Structure 1
Amino acid sequence: MNEISFRIRGADADVPSGETESPADAFAPGTIDVLVDGLSLLRQPDGYVFDAATVLALRATPSPNFFPFTCGCGVPGCIGIHTPAVMVVESDTVTWTFPEKPFRETLAAEAFGSEGPLQLRFDRALYVAALDNLQGHLEEVRRARGRNMNIWPGYPDEDLVTAPLQQVLAKQRKRHLDWDAREAWRERVWGDALGTDLVIAFESGNQYSIPLENLADSVASHRLSQDRYARRWATARKHTEFIESRLAPTLRSGLEAVVREARSVPWEILVEDVFSDGRQQQREKDVVAEGKTWPEASFRLRTYEQYQAERRGAANPLAGAVE
């Protein structure tokens, strides 16, 4: 049986005053570490952020789509977490089970051992007591500083800076339940195509990529919106039925169909949704981003496993080299 606890660092730093550049800057400073059996659970933080709001909001609620760690932007996939952890709750235990990738390398081996599942098992009463203790300390920070710590990743609403902590957690709980429903929909609609990108490569050797599900959002937003320049973030969630019944089956049918659908969106619109993929030259970025028509390019589909292999090769360019 493991024991969980939490440590707040940096809560005594200066509190920002006056106007700030973003809502996130207006919160009281501080970082929360997760400790298991007295040791930091993260071995290599490397950009990972603990989603304290989600963990506190769920308390001892079972969840098949559990992301206690995520990217600072709030999107797990942005930092390579494409499979959720699972939280199982029984009468006297709470169990966290993490996926092998990427957590075998990022979580402390001391908590799990070098083999076997990445599983933590806590006494339920002690687990809830640890959460209550953390929440109590966060309430103390709010009383002392007049504002909350930023305990959830992403781009928080400004009205949560001074909101009662229970209100913050209630909002996060609703967000998580909505996320569970969204994840179940993604699994049903995309299946093994989740994590597959369309890679767009130029003669210069530079390339861009866009996940198929993001491409579907872009196509649906452009095709079904009254606004020719509608952006996918503004309208895509309204088009889930169209994506499920029409677009996803088309995009899963092969490269030719994917390229056809991608080219149906004007390049000057789609370029805002693609990701720079590799070491782009600044001039190449400018030329591509400012173009009004589709540039000359080649296309291929890339699975998440292939993407990871490419990243490993880029990190170690001598791997597999022949002298």
Structure 2
Amino acid sequence: MATSAVARETVFALRRQIAKIEGTLSERLEAPAGSSFDADVPRQSLASSRNPTPARNLTIVRRGLAAPPDAFLRTGAERLDAALSGGLPKAALSEFHGAATRDAGAVAGFVLSLISLILSQGPRLPVLWIGTSEVFREAGFPYAGGLHAFFGIEPEQLLFSEAPRLLDALWVAEEAARMTALAAVILEIRGNPQRLDLTATRRLHARAQSAGRPLFLLRQAGEPEPTAAPVRLILSAAPAAARETIAGPLAGSIGRPAFTITIGKSRTALPGKFTLEWNPDERIFEERRGEEWAKNPVPVVSTSRRREDPAAAPGAVLAFPAVGSPAAGDQSPRPERPAHRRPRRAGRSA
């Protein structure tokens, strides 16, 4: 029994190393039928061309066949889909991280965009959103009017399950992940709870694979940690461009929702950072390129004082300097003494 366990761990270690070198997942390595190990341990017996007797103790790990194109959910952004080796897996656990609590809205908006793509490509089944009371109290619920206007999702298609504890939410997610009557399952958590460890995510990933449905794990203010999810995306809100009109960009307006996406983990192990805009009319993602964004830049932070402005300031130039920025040649004002060091006025008693 001990020898079998050691051999098993050796095969697992070799599989991980070869998958890392080839830039794929170890789960995608092909396993032959009738293996003495578990079905998820890929190996192939070798037979020497000189010796017809097969080598019983020698095994190798080889790369499996590519997954069919319909196994992935394509976002429509070619560069992002290529970096993800075809898109997000449809039958798997996928992670979406927000570095801070304020990014919960951006994470939820991006996942709802993916749900809109799923419903447009298949049967319009309901979607279950699971979370704890703490999560919904902190981030709130999606607005029913916005679901239809921005994503084409009817309010009755999005079901919510509010659990008092994380343990209850995980139980509901495991039971829902195996159901084929749902188009997708969303599990939203906060931070890095100990109960959501590698074993728990393996169970969720296995249930999603068995049902052939996606399971999206949303993490508010969580740090990356080892999980069974093949893909991890780190999301935040990007500055919105001006709204496009027939006469051109409308100054001072807010355009389409935009997301900054960083690949934290993928099947190809290729890092990348992308900015996508969600087109609510066409219900597709459009990548924002650098040249297009440079036509309408939006300053995020004002220029520091007493430093040369890298760009000409818009508007009329005033004849007097700005407040707090003395003109050249003027002496800086005399520093004022702190209040507790001022001399007492004459005639006042101590």
- Which one has a larger percent strand, Structure 1 or Structure 2? 2
So what's the TM-score if we normalise by structure 1? Answer: 0.27
Q: TM-score, normalised by structure 2?
A: 0.25
Rg comparison, structure with higher value? 2
